[in-house]
């Protein structure tokens, strides 16, 4: 049933008895043409585009818990395409374009809100690095503005301009950047995929792979039994190494914890997304009114979905340095996610060395914004066995060849991305 | 006034004035804001989140979802403050929130009329057309209607600080369980920290008329408090909340030092963040009473029974004159007993259970209270306050009662949030009809009602046992103690999640307006995990984090799914236990004190001489020295750079990382660190070196000097100093422990100054008259250790500027003296002090790479150091540096740039494209890394990384800089602009 | 997090810098490119017990090998990296 | 050029500006300017090094984070095989003399100027320090002779306890002195503790 104001009005009169489940809670029913492991945003988007764009008939998404319970359900919802390196820029811009039409496409309001992303700079070298990035974006046809201190002040007068350890000099602004309601993205894709016949199987953990005598992947072992499939796509984010290990693969990935925070709800306070280039802090305000913020990763490998106090302090110190008005605003909740930190900070969308097994991983702490394009490109790869042009650089062998895409220049040290 | 004549823990001798929504009111010392409002007969205190329904005070504790106010005004205003947790002070000002224009007449309550449409998740289903309307129309409206209080936009004027503490046993909560735990552990001589959220110790004992040891329980509390206070091994934090458990027995707590004052005394923090390290922890955090489901259960006047009891007992304030009690628990009856004891008028008690507890009938009869057994409340009505309620007995008969207060008691949820922080999941207990923490993390015990043992006797016993066990576990010997006898309280209860036939909305999450219908709809729409339920309906996501209503909602979900609560489960609590001010986490690390500042030995001298400082990591460095005749910064920089090339300049380079490397194997060690050789370096000589990361990209560069056979002195870039020290330690401790090498940072020991320019030798000779600094005696790349006026000093013949130049190092204590002497002695040579900008000009003129070129994305070959890469030895990065992509000849490599029209300006970060090409990424050849105005060239010059690099020298390209509206035609040239033959440096 | 530094005693995790899995060993100089690629980029990334490097940069400046569980964060041992095998 | 060059203390201006405070709750502070310091790093044979040091100074080189003093010289363990040597009333060449006397057994780096050392004495010292350092200063854990390298307010510090007064010394890299002073003074204010200048210098 289509969602609309009229459908809601009808519901108001009929006690909302007409609503169906947003997606079918399917039981495994193989064999499938494609099995996607992981019911996060990426897995569900992949399934949707497989069905919609490529007409693949039988697709299953296997999720070990409830869909959207991984990083898709715990990120700070920032979407942007302000990347500077070739390979990244065109991919994230494609994602942004998909965001811009997503809700009409899915018939689901994911609250995509292009309120702008402002990255502050505090010195000449940082300014020039942002200029380099902004210019690269413009070469790719992406909107980017370098704004000065006065312009920042007019956008966000409450920032600390006068007594700052690292005074604000200006910022790189992408007006088309912003936020989207993370859970809605998951549910919207799930509903749209389910409507196209995709089986979304929850509480179904993949515990192993089934191989043909020739060594090809032909199915998966799960907590709900063996499920056969023609191709298997992995989109398990923080658990990439775990699932890859079942296939005997090691990946250039470490799983790290990133914490995020939300404050009590407030009346509208912040215009858009603000990142503090000299501290470890970034913030936006949710539609519910909470300031959603975060900072650095904790810096150690973890699968625990929670972090420690030093980073909480570090993030809040950054917050207070940037906006001393939030001193009396209270943090309501904190949580952590398990991020698949790749060795150059950029993702992998590629065939694996094993026939029939495909990888979508290495999203670090930036894969939410990638959700639509990641699904789009992974579906393309799965359906056609060739990389989509905008994701062609996200190869697994780039670490061996040295064609790394290292935006931060930190090298193979995931704690430094 | 609803204040009782006597009783309670308030001080009637100390009246306090306060203002709520502009109205002047009074309370007493010992009141909370909520109890003072109750005493003043204030009913309506807030509006709900979504429907803007009128709401009153519901609880007497920190779980309060309704009575949220903005406390104080101006820069000190604090949105969303729970009136139930605010200790009243003289002059307190509070405002209600989320209403417009007034609390009584809130236009936004129109939402309530539209509520049939505003079901769970309604916005996901609409507001999609037209697409552009979301940001412009719908979202601003939704945002304005949502949110609660308004935050101040002025800096928080108060200060915060941080503290650390260690203990054997941490006891959280000071009710009967916590107090007896603390007593038992401390009597065993363990170091104990007791943390209590309230300003008084005692927990529920302050609010209940109980006896311990034959006397009122509060007397026992005072006695134990006295004993604990006298013990040197016990610390107590009052007005402090443990907000989270972290790894390794670390706990966070926030102490509210001045929140009960109008404002903090000058210099005294408002709050303090405690990090507590505990070997064992006892959670004695109590339990929270559950609301009951019926239509209109959110009307002002409907309150938790424990809260009504607390207001009467502890605060001597009665919330109403006609009180009805609705309970499914024995504690509802205990509340009735205490209330009657205070003289409250209870007209009826409704118990949904088949029969009331033993002795109830007798008590009710003697107090003249009507009793309804086996009956449920169906609907409550009134407008902005409760007036009457409708109940239905088991046989379907409907009764209507009038009441201004309905005290409800639906069972108890143990408070165990902190125990879940490390991932332990609560499990459902059919025995007590509540979730309990069966598997707390190692080292943690729950005691008393937090453990689901709800009676006073159990709390005393449990606390004692937990305290003694924790101490014994750590090797202390707890002395035998006797647990005091106490009054008995029955703890029977029956869960009640749903009522049939309610006409009005039945609220589950009060703050977020989640109703039983929303839960049903969510289940119908497939949101069947408790986690999906939470996210779709926002159940438990409000400021009370579902303390009050979450379990009720989860039970409804289970009911819809035909499952048990044991099967559907509950969600994990996360820190903070109660919302904590961001300022408290930041402590004094804000504004100028966000991060420490490092100052060089010449800082004060530089400041005296017009220096403008720039942040270089944590360091403050002189960027340039402004003199009155300079028009602008470029004038200063040009003047400084010109003077260096013409005569002599002095620049503080102390911030470079300096590492002393000692040991018999120091030379071999450096060979493995750098791409080039150092073991072959002669004593008294310096060499420029480049280090790679193991992935083959450049890590850092700098000069390293051999001061003795077994002693090298390494310098690193300022930015990488700490990282390289760590790298050096890694290499010697982990990679090659067999090498006999010692290393230590001596960055801070030496103040080091570059003395550069054709007259540098003259100047230095004046300061070191006894030294032979001639070219023959002290050629380029030499170094010498000397004694200068009794202190050790080092002189290096190094040059970053390309001029004849030296660097002089003295112990940092003498740096100030040295720079003053250099400047004094150089006066007649026209010496200038130069800062980092002029330093940059000089190095760009010489094509020396620095931070912008050492981006972590460049190889040695990119930067022109390919030939330095030794073939004779292994070193970090050697193998991976020769991978195809790192040796691709089309990689961007270092070149010089000049604007074709010499008057034009270059800018760092511009991309480089062919002259007549489209502005497209596939035409991108590279970018400008560094620029400067070169006095020598009379124009802007730059360095850049350009595909095809040196092969393009002489080519015309363009620098594309749309983000600053600058397209400049440029000419590619050698990166060495000045003195390419290197004559000056050897002069 | 509390890390039991063998020299300094138990300290808050904030004093240490995490430097990843300690198991990969730098290949011999002549081991070839593939071995170095594996060493630099590939990780086991276990969910459970791991031996890892921590640098006590704000303390004794020693590299430690810490045995820690990545699911629970429980630390079972810590030793100086110098002279210990992961 | 016969002139005397004057060493500058990192806390000089702050100490000079200390307001006169009287009253019970005070903390005495002073900067140690008359001592020389060096990092002593064993070249492997710790026993031989310990013997040499014992011969020269009568000091039993500690193997852990402790401070051992003979009243004039002290060795403070800061890492395995690494000590900070502190010499009271020693000239700027003291470190190189030490290097010569330990030649072959230890590498020595002069750090006399690297560290600013504050001596802090008084009842409140423990509480003040524990505000900043995540170290257990309880006398049962951190008695006289204990030492620790840690951080205070994002600044690396070495702290050792000297006596029962209690007296502590805090050594930090001198470039951080101003920021450290800010932390110290705000913390004392928050605790209601007055800072006074030590006056004189104890030889311990
Ligand atoms: C705190 C935080 C903040 C972030 N902020 C941002 C941001 O602002 N912007 C941004 O762009 N990105 C952000 N990210 C990153 C982003 O959330 C992730 O990169 C992205 O969500 C990952 O893709 P996903 O949604 O498919 O992953 P997930 O949602 O993690 O999906 C993976 C799914 O796989 C399932 N799974 C795992 N193993 C198995 C198995 N064996 N069998 C079956 N299923 C399995 C998991 O349960 C999970 O549901 C943030 C991440 C975190 C943690
Ligand atoms: N009859 C019943 O059914 C029933 C049910 C529940 C409670 N009770 C009564 O309640 C009492 C229970 O005693 P108890 O000691 O277990 O609990 P308590 O409620 O008396 O004390 C808990 C204390 O912990 C404090 N606290 C909670 N979380 C905290 C935190 N994070 N940081 C700091 N302080 C925190 C609270 O402020 C409170 O003072 C008994 O008197 C019992 O009779 C009775
Ligand atoms: C963007 C965003 C906003 C959130 N806002 C709230 C909020 O207002 N209230 C709340 O209780 N939790 C909020 N959360 C946190 C969730 O409750 C939850 O903690 C998080 O999704 C991680 O799940 P977990 O805590 O179950 O592990 C928010 C999370 C995100 C990602
Ligand atoms: Zn250590």
**CA B285 to ligand 2 center in whole angstroms:** 5
Instruction: Give chains near C: 3+ CB pairs under 8 A.
Output: A, B, D
d(CA A49, CA B414): 47
A165 and A284 belong to one structural domain: yes
A274 and A169 belong to one structural domain: yes
Please name the residue ranges forming H helices in C6-75: 33-41
**Cα distances (angstroms) measured from residue B283 to each of B195, B233, B245, B448, B470:** 10, 19, 11, 9, 12
A260 and A338 belong to one structural domain: yes
A270 and A331 belong to one structural domain: yes
d(CA B960, CA B2): 76
Above 60 in pLDDT, residue A34?
yes
A338 and A267 belong to one structural domain: yes
Helix (H) or strand (E) holding B949: none
**Phi, psi for B217 (deg, rounded to 5):** -60, -35
**Which residue's alpha carbon is at the smallest distance from atom 11 of ligand 2?**
B204
User: Is B496-587 a domain of CATH 3.40.50.2000?
Assistant: no
Q: Ligand 2 within 6 A of B933 CB? A: no
Residue A133 placed within a domain? yes
Cβ contacts of D107 within 8 Å, gap of 6 or more: B660, B662, B663, B710, B711, B742, D40, D41, D43, D99
Structural domains for chain C: 2-23+34-80 (3.30.2270.10)
The per-residue pLDDT for range B444-455, each reduced to its tens digit, is 999 999 999 999
Interface of B to C at Cβ within 8 Å reads 246-250, 275, 277, 422-423, 442, 694-695, 722, 726, 729-730, 733-735, 737, 874, 878-880, 882-883
- Virtual torsion, Cα B636, B638, B641, B646, nearest 10 deg: -110
DSSP B539-605: TT-STTTTTTTHHHHHHHHHHHHT--HHHH--PPP-S-SS-EEHHHHHTT-SGGGSS--EE-TTHHH
A242 and A382 belong to one structural domain: yes
Chain A partners within 8 Å of B542 (Cβ): 265
Chain C partners within 8 Å of A413 (Cβ): 19-20
**CA C5 to ligand 4 center in whole angstroms:** 5
A93 and A197 belong to one structural domain: yes
Tokens of B64: 């309060």
Nearest residue to D54 via CA among D107, D127, D105:
D105
Residue of C nearest to B246 (CA): C1
Q: Which of B85, B87, B170, B175 to mutate to test the pocket of ligand 2 (most atoms within 8 A of CB)?
A: B175
Residue D200: band (very low, low, confident or very high) from pLDDT cuts 50, 70, 90: very low
A96 and A189 belong to one structural domain: yes
d(CA B120, CA B538): 8
User: Is B11-126 a domain of CATH 2.40.30.20?
Assistant: no
Instruction: Give chains near D: 3+ CB pairs under 8 A.
Output: B, C
Residue D2: band (very low, low, confident or very high) from pLDDT cuts 50, 70, 90: low
The answer to whether the CB of B416 falls within 8 A of the CB of B333 is: no
Q: Kindly state the average pLDDT of the residues B63-70.
A: 97
B813 and D CB contact within 8 Å: yes
Nearest residue to B255 via CA among B195, B194, B166, B186:
B195
Above 90 in pLDDT, residue D203?
no
The per-residue pLDDT for range B549-563, each reduced to its tens digit, is 999 999 999 999 999
The per-residue pLDDT for range A77-133, each reduced to its tens digit, is 999 999 999 999 999 999 999 999 999 999 999 999 999 999 999 999 999 999 999
pLDDT computed for residue D201 by the predictor? 42
pTM value? 0.97
Flag if C63 and B246 touch (Cβ within 8 Å).
no
pLDDT computed for residue B1 by the predictor? 65
**Which residue's alpha carbon is at the smallest distance from atom 23 of ligand 3?**
A74
Q: Which atom of ligand 1 is nearest to the CA of A67?
A: 49
**CA B204 to ligand 2 center in whole angstroms:** 5
The answer to whether the CB of C77 falls within 8 A of the CB of C53 is: no
pLDDT computed for residue B141 by the predictor? 85
Cβ contacts of B506 within 8 Å, gap of 6 or more: B293, B294, B295, B297, B499, B515, B516, B517
The answer to whether the CB of B736 falls within 8 A of the CB of B752 is: no
Residue limits of CATH 1.10.10.1100 in chain B: 496-587
The SS3 of residue B458 is helix
**Which residue's alpha carbon is at the smallest distance from atom 15 of ligand 1?**
A365
DSSP B6-27: S-SS-EEEEEEEEEETTEEEEE
| A391: containing domain | 22-81+83-108+182-252+344-401
Cβ contacts of D51 within 8 Å, gap of 6 or more: none
* B606 cis-preceded (ω within 30 degrees of 0): no
List the CATH number of the domain containing A248: 3.50.50.60
What interface predicted TM-score (ipTM) does this complex get?
0.97
Residue D22: band (very low, low, confident or very high) from pLDDT cuts 50, 70, 90: low
- Pocket residues: Cβ below 6 A from ligand 1: A 37-43, 62-65, 69-72, 74-78, 205-206, 235-239, 243, 258, 260, 294, 337, 339, 363, 365-369
A101 and A190 belong to one structural domain: yes
In this structure, the strands spanning B892-899 and B939-947 are antiparallel
pLDDT computed for residue A216 by the predictor? 97
List the CATH number of the domain containing A322: 3.30.9.10
- Virtual torsion, Cα D181, D184, D186, D191, nearest 10 deg: -160
Residue finishing a domain among A342, A358, A376:
A342
Q: Kindly state the average pLDDT of the residues B937-954.
A: 96
Q: Which atom of ligand 2 is nearest to the CA of B195?
A: 33
The per-residue pLDDT for range B675-694, each reduced to its tens digit, is 999 999 999 999 999 999 99
Q: Which residue has the higher pLDDT, A413 or D173?
A: D173
Question: What secondary structure letter does DSSP report for B906?
Answer: P
Residues with CB under 5 A from ligand 4 (ion): C 5, 7-8, 56, 59-60
Considering the domain B888-987 in this protein, what is its CATH number?
Answer: 2.40.30.110
pLDDT computed for residue A414 by the predictor? 60
Nearest residue to B511 via CA among B65, B124, B896:
B65
Residue finishing a domain among A322, A342, A362:
A342
Q: Which atom of ligand 1 is nearest to the CA of A44?
A: 26
* Of the options 3.50.50.60, 3.40.50.300, 3.40.50.720, 3.40.50.2300, the CATH number for the domain spanning B291-410: 3.50.50.60
Q: Which of A74, A75, A208 to mutate to test the pocket of ligand 1 (most atoms within 8 A of CB)?
A: A75
For chain B positions 277-296, those within 8 Å of chain D (CB to CB) are 277
d(CA A321, CA B588): 10
Question: What secondary structure letter does DSSP report for B101?
Answer: B
DSSP D6-71: ----TTHHHHHTPPP--SSSEEEEEE--S-EEEEEEE-S-HHHHHHHHHHHH-----SSSBEEE-S
A32 and A54 belong to one structural domain: yes
Q: Kindly state the average pLDDT of the residues B431-435.
A: 96
In this structure, the strands spanning B711-716 and B611-616 are unpaired
Chain C partners within 8 Å of A303 (Cβ): 47, 70-71
Nearest residue to A61 via CA among A218, A193, A253, A224:
A193
The SS3 of residue A195 is helix
Flag if C13 and A242 touch (Cβ within 8 Å).
no
SS (H, E, C) B321-337: CCEEEEECEHHHHHHHH
Chain A partners within 8 Å of C40 (Cβ): 343, 399, 412
d(CA A292, CA A74): 11
Residue limits of CATH 3.50.50.60 in chain B: 160-287+414-473, 291-410
pLDDT computed for residue B116 by the predictor? 82
CATH superfamily, with its number, for domain B160-287+414-473 = FAD/NAD(P)-binding domain (3.50.50.60)
User: Over pLDDT 70: what percentage of chain A?
Assistant: 99
A189 and A217 belong to one structural domain: yes
Give Cα B236 distance to the centre of its chain: 25
Q: Which of B178, B179, B182 to mutate to test the pocket of ligand 2 (most atoms within 8 A of CB)?
A: B178
Give Cα B906 distance to the centre of its chain: 41
The per-residue pLDDT for range B872-918, each reduced to its tens digit, is 999 999 999 999 999 999 999 999 999 999 999 999 999 999 999 99
Question: Count of domains in chain A?
Answer: 2
**CA B769 to ligand 3 center in whole angstroms:** 71
A172 and A271 belong to one structural domain: yes
Q: Kindly state the average pLDDT of the residues D85-99.
A: 94
User: For residue A273, which ligand has an atom nearest its CA?
Assistant: 1
Strand partners for B702 = B689
**Which residue's alpha carbon is at the smallest distance from atom 11 of ligand 3?**
B541
Above 70 in pLDDT, residue B696?
yes
For A295-317, letters b (16+ CB in 10 Å) and e give bbbbbbbbbbbbbbbbbbbbbbb
d(CA A319, CA B581): 12
Question: What secondary structure letter does DSSP report for B922?
Answer: G
Q: How close is the nearest chain D Cα to the Cα of B670, in Å?
A: 17
Structural domains for chain D: 12-33+115-197 (3.30.1360.120), 36-110 (3.30.70.1520)
The SS3 of residue B639 is helix
In this structure, the strands spanning B783-788 and B711-716 are unpaired
pLDDT computed for residue A417 by the predictor? 41
């Amino acid at each position: 049933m289509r969602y609309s104001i009229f459908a809601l009005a009808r519901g108001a009169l009929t006690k909302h008895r007409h609503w169906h489940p947003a997606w079918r809670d399917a039981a495994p029913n193989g064999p499938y043409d494609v099995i996607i492991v992981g019911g996060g945003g990426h897995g569900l988007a992949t399934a949707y585009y497989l069905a919609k764009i490529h007409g693949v008939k039988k697709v299953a998404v296997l999720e070990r818990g409830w869909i959207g319970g991984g990083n898709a359900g715990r990120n700070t919802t920032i979407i942007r395409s302000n990347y500077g390196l070739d390979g990244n820029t065109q991919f994230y811009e494609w994602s942004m374009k998909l965001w811009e039409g997503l809700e009409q496409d899915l018939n689901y309001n994911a609250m995509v809100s292009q309120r702008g992303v402002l990255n502050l700079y505090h010195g000449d070298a940082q300014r020039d690095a942002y200029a380099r990035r902004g210019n690269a974006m413009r070469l790719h046809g992406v909107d980017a503005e370098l704004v000065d201190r006065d312009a920042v002040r007019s956008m966000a007068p409450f920032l600390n301009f006068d007594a700052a350890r690292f005074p604000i000099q200006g910022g790189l602004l992408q007006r088309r950047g912003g936020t989207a309601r993370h859970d809605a993205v998951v549910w919207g894709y799930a509903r749209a995929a389910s409507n196209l016949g995709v089986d979304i199987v929850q509480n179904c953990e993949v515990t192993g792979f089934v191989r043909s005598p020739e060594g090809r992947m032909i199915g998966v072992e799960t907590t709900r039994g063996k499920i056969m499939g023609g191709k298997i796509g992995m989109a398990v984010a923080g658990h990439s190494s775990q699932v890859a290990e079942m296939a005997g693969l090691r990946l250039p990935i470490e799983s790290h914890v990133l914490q995020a925070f939300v404050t009590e709800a407030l009346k509208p306070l912040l215009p858009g997304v603000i990142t503090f280039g000299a501290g470890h802090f970034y913030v936006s305000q949710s539609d519910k009114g909470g300031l959603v913020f975060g900072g650095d990763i904790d810096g150690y490998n973890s699968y625990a979905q929670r972090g420690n106090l030093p980073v909480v302090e570090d993030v809040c110190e950054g917050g207070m340095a940037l906006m001393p008005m939030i001193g009396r605003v209270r943090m309501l909740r904190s949580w952590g996610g398990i991020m698949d930190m790749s060795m150059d900070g950029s993702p992998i969308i590629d065939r694996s060395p094993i026939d029939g097994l495909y990888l979508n991983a290495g999203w670090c702490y930036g894969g939410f914004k990638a959700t639509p394009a990641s699904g789009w490109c992974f579906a393309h790869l799965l359906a056609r066995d060739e990389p989509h042009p905008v994701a062609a650089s996200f190869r697994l062998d780039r670490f061996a060849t040295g064609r790394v895409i290292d935006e931060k220049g930190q090298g193979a040290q995931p704690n430094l991305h | 006034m609803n204040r009782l004549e006597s009783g309670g823990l308030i001080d009637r001798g100390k009246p306090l004035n306060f203002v709520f929504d502009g109205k002047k009111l009074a309370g007493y010392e010992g009141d909370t804001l909520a109890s003072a409002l109750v005493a003043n007969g204030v009913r309506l205190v807030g509006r709900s989140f979504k429907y803007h329904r009128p709401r009153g005070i519901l609880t007497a504790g920190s779980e309060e979802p309704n009575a949220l106010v903005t406390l104080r005004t101006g820069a000190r205003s604090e949105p969303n403050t729970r009136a139930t947790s605010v200790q009243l002070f003289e002059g307190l000002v509070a405002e209600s929130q989320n209403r417009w224009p007034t609390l009584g007449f809130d236009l936004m309550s129109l939402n309530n009329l539209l509520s049939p449409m505003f079901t769970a998740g309604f916005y996901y289903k609409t507001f999609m057309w037209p697409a552009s309307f979301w940001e412009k129309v719908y979202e601003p409206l939704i945002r304005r209607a949502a949110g609660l209080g308004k935050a101040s936009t002025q800096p928080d004027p108060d200060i915060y600080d941080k503290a650390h503490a260690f203990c054997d046993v941490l006891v959280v909560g000071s009710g009967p369980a916590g107090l007896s735990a603390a007593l038992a552990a401390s009597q065993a001589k363990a170091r104990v920290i007791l943390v209590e959220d309230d300003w008084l110790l005692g927990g529920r004992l302050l609010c209940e008329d109980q006896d311990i040891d034959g006397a009122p329980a509060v007397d026992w509390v005072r006695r134990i408090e006295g004993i604990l206070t006298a013990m040197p091994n016990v610390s107590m934090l009052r007005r402090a909340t443990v907000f989270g458990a972290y790894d390794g027995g670390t706990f966070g707590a926030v102490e509210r030092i001045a929140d009960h004052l109008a404002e903090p005394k000058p210099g005294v923090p408002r709050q303090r963040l405690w990090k507590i390290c505990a070997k064992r922890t006892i959670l004695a955090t109590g339990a929270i009473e559950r609301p009951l489901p019926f239509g209109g259960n959110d009307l002002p006047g409907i309150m938790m029974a424990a809260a009504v009891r607390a207001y009467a007992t502890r605060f001597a304030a009665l919330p109403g004159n006609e009180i009805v009690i609705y309970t499914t628990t024995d504690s509802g009856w205990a509340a009735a007993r205490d209330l009657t004891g205070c003289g409250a008028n209870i007209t009826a008690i409704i118990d949904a259970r088949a029969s009331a507890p033993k002795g109830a009938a007798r008590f009710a009869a003697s107090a003249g209270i009507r009793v309804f057994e086996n009956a449920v409340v169906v609907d409550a009505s009134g407008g902005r306050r409760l007036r009457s309620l409708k109940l239905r007995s088991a046989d379907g008969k409907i009764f209507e009662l009038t009441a201004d207060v309905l005290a409800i008691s639906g069972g108890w949820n143990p408070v165990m949030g902190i125990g879940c922080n490390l991932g332990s999941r609560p499990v459902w207990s059919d025995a007590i009809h509540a979730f309990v923490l069966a598997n707390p993390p190692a080292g943690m015990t729950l005691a008393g009602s937090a453990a689901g043992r709800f009676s006073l006797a159990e709390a005393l016993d449990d606390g004692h046992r937990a305290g003694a066990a924790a101490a014994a576990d750590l090797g202390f010997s707890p002395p035998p103690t006797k647990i005091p006898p106490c009054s008995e309280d029955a703890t029977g209860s029956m869960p009640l999640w749903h009522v049939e036939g309610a006409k009005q909305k039945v609220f589950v999450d009060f703050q977020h307006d989640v109703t039983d219908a929303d839960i049903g709809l969510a289940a119908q729409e497939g949101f069947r995990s408790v986690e999906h339920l939470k996210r779709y309906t926002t159940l438990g996501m409000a400021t009370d984090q579902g303390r009050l209503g979450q379990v009720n909602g989860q039970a409804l979900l289970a009911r819809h799914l035909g499952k048990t609560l044991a099967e559907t489960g509950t969600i994990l609590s996360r820190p903070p236990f109660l919302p904590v001010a961001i300022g408290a986490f930041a402590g004094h690390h804000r504004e100028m004190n966000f991060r420490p500042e490092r100052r060089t030995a010449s800082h004060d001298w530089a400041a005296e001489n017009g220096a403008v400082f720039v942040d270089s990591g944590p360091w403050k460095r002189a960027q340039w020295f402004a003199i009155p005749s300079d028009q602008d910064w470029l004038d200063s920089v040009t003047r400084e750079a010109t003077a260096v090339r013409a005569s002599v300049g002095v620049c503080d380079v102390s911030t470079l990382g300096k590492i002393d490397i000692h040991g018999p194997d120091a030379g071999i060690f450096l060979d493995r660190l750098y791409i080039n050789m150092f073991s072959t370096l002669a004593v008294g000589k310096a060499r420029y070196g480049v280090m790679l990361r193991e992935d083959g990209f450049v890590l850092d560069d700098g000069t390293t000097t051999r001061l003795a056979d077994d002693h090298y002195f390494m310098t690193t870039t300022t930015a990488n100093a700490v990282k390289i020290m760590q790298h050096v330690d890694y290499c010697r401790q982990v990679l090659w422990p067999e090498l006999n090498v010692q290393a230590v940072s001596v960055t801070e020991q030496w103040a080091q100054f570059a003395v550069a320019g054709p007259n540098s030798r003259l100047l230095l000779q004046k300061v070191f008259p006894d030294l032979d600094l001639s070219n023959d005696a002290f050629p380029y790349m030499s170094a010498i250790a000397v004694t200068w006026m009794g202190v050790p000093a080092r002189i290096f013949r190094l040059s970053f500027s390309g001029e004849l130049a030296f660097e002089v190092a003295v112990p940092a204590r003498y740096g100030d003296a040295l720079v003053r002497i250099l400047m004094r002695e150089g006066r007649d040579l026209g010496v200038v002090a130069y800062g980092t900008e002029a330093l940059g000009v000089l190095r760009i003129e010489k094509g020396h790479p620095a931070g912008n070129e050492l981006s972590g994305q460049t190889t040695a070959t990119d930067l022109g150091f390919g030939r330095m890469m030794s073939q004779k030895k292994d070193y970090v990065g050697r193998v991976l540096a020769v991978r195809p992509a790192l040796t691709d000849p089309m990689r961007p490599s270092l070149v010089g740039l000049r604007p074709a029209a010499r008057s034009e300006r270059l800018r760092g970060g511009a991309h480089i494209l062919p002259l007549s090409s489209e502005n497209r990424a596939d035409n991108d050849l590279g970018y400008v890394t560094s620029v400067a105005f070169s006095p020598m060239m009379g124009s802007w010059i730059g360095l850049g990384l350009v595909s095809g690099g040196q092969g393009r020298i002489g080519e015309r390209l363009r620098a594309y800089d749309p983000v600053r509206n600058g397209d400049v035609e440029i000419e590619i040239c050698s990166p060495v602009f000045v003195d390419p033959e290197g004559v000056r440096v050897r002069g | 997090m509390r890390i039991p530094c063998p020299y300094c005693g138990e300290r808050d995790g904030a004093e240490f810098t995490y430097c990843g899995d300690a198991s990969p060993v730098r290949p011999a100089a002549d081991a070839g490119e593939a071995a170095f690629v594996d060493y630099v980029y590939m990780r086991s990334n276990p969910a459970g017990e791991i031996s890892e490097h921590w640098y006590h940069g704000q303390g004794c400046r020693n590299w430690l090998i810490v045995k820690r569980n990545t699911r629970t964060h429980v630390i079972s041992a810590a030793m100086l990296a110098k002279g210990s095998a992961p | 050029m016969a002139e005397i060059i004057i060493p500058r203390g990192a806390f000089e201006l702050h100490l000079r500006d200390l307001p006169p405070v009287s009253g019970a709750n005070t903390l005495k502070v002073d900067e140690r300017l008359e001592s020389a310091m060096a990092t002593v790093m064993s070249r492997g044979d710790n026993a031989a090094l310990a013997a040499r040091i014992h011969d020269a100074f009568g000091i039993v080189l500690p193997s852990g984070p402790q401070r051992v003093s003979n009243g004039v010289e002290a060795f403070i363990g800061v890492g395995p095989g690494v000590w900070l040597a502190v010499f009271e009333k020693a000239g700027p060449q003291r470190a190189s003399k030490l290097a010569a006397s330990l030649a072959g057994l230890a590498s020595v780096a002069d750090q006399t100027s690297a560290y600013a050392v504050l001596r802090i004495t008084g009842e409140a010292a423990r509480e003040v320090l524990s505000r900043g350092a995540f170290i257990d200063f309880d006398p049962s854990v951190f008695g006289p002779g204990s030492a620790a390298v840690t951080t205070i307010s994002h600044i690396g510090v070495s702290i050792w306890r000297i006596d029962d007064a209690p007296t502590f010394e805090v050594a930090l890299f001198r470039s951080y002195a101003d920021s450290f002073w800010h932390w110290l003074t705000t913390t004392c204010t928050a605790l209601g503790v007055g800072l006074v200048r030590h006056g004189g210098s104890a030889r311990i």
